[in-house]
Structure 1
Amino acid sequence: MFPITINITPRYSETDQMGIIHHANYLIYLEQARLDWLSQLGFSYVKMEEAGVLLPVYNIDLKYKNPIKFGDEISVKISLKSIPTTRVIFDYEIVNQKNQVCAVCELTLVFTDAQTFRPRKPIPEFLEACKKLLNT
């Protein structure tokens, strides 16, 4: 399902007073992985927006398993869960250098018309690329 993995070195500014990466930063790491995934597929948010499509977040189911600490090196794995409809769903896994799972997430975006803000189907080129990834 075309999973990709990116490596991230969390910055000190992303920690709380205890030296633990603040939970809100996990969303930034997920977005960074998603942008890389789209890029490797040959797309970008810019390309989607030029086609009149916005992709707001609909749902985030993020489960924290182990803390990420300052000095950790993490890997974020992202994969497409299913063929996009008006929604596209991604699965994520964040692991540290000890291969401990720090978080798992299912994140849903909605394809939205940039003019009307109503749900719409994905652009055909994106849909076809996703179908090829999932061999359907």
Structure 2
Amino acid sequence: MSPVTINITPRYSETDQMGIIHHANYLIYLEQARLEWLSQLGFSYVKMEEEGVLLPVYNIDIKYKNPIKFGEEIYVRISLQSKPTTRVVFDYEIVNQKNQICAVCELTLVFTDAQTFRPRKPIPEFLEACSKLF
């Protein structure tokens, strides 16, 4: 599976007074891309949670390169950095319609047992699907 790209048209409510997309909204765009990536892999957070797995954010590193302006369409590219263990690491790139990089991100989630909130291994079907990507 090559990197997944989703298109997003930011809404006016996501801007600041200067017509620039507020940085907090980038997290929402990253999550939208991650949900689509999971869907294309054949999974969802609902399926994971039914299996007793939660995926809280462990670390997020966003580097803002160029502002996203209201009215610009953006593209969020997501790819898996490496095979998951108790953690899964994603790389993101947000680009505007001029193909300028607006932000790059590395995001780490931890597979967590829903009852104990302790780290755990991914469900076998997810690990197997991810292994086929490498």
Quick check: TM above 0.5? Answer: yes
- Residue in structure 1 matched with residue 54 of structure 2 by the alignment: 54
Structure 1: which 5+ runs fail to align?
none
- Residue in structure 2 matched with residue 104 of structure 1 by the alignment: 104
Aligned length: 134
Q: Per the alignment, in what secondary structure is the counterpart of residue 31 of structure 1?
A: helix
Which whole-Å CA distance do the structure 1 matches of 2:21 and 2:131 have between them?
36
**Cα shift at 1:2:** 2.8
Contact 1:51 1:123 in 2 (8 A): yes
- Residue in structure 2 matched with residue 120 of structure 1 by the alignment: 120
Alignment TM-score, normalising by the size of structure 2:
0.99
Contact 1:2 1:80 in 2 (8 A): no
Which whole-Å CA distance do the structure 2 matches of 1:109 and 1:99 have between them?
28
Q: Percent identity, please.
A: 90
- Residue in structure 2 matched with residue 80 of structure 1 by the alignment: 80
**Cα shift at 1:133:** 1.1
Which whole-Å CA distance do the structure 2 matches of 1:11 and 1:68 have between them?
11
Alignment TM-score, normalising by the size of structure 1:
0.97
**Cα shift at 1:98:** 0.4
Which whole-Å CA distance do the structure 1 matches of 2:82 and 2:91 have between them?
10
**Cα shift at 1:24:** 0.2
Matched, 1:33 2:62: no
Instruction: Tell me which amino acid in the other structure corresponds to 2:115.
Output: Q
Which whole-Å CA distance do the structure 1 matches of 2:102 and 2:76 have between them?
10
Which whole-Å CA distance do the structure 2 matches of 1:4 and 1:41 have between them?
10
**Cα shift at 1:90:** 0.1
Deviations 1:49-68 (A, max 9, x none): 00000000000010000000
Q: Per the alignment, in what secondary structure is the counterpart of residue 93 of structure 1?
A: strand
Deviations 1:38-96 (A, max 9, x none): 00000000000000000000000100000000011100000000000000000000000
Runs of 4+ in 1 over 6 A off after TM superposition: none
- Residue in structure 1 matched with residue 93 of structure 2 by the alignment: 93
Which whole-Å CA distance do the structure 1 matches of 2:118 and 2:37 have between them?
25
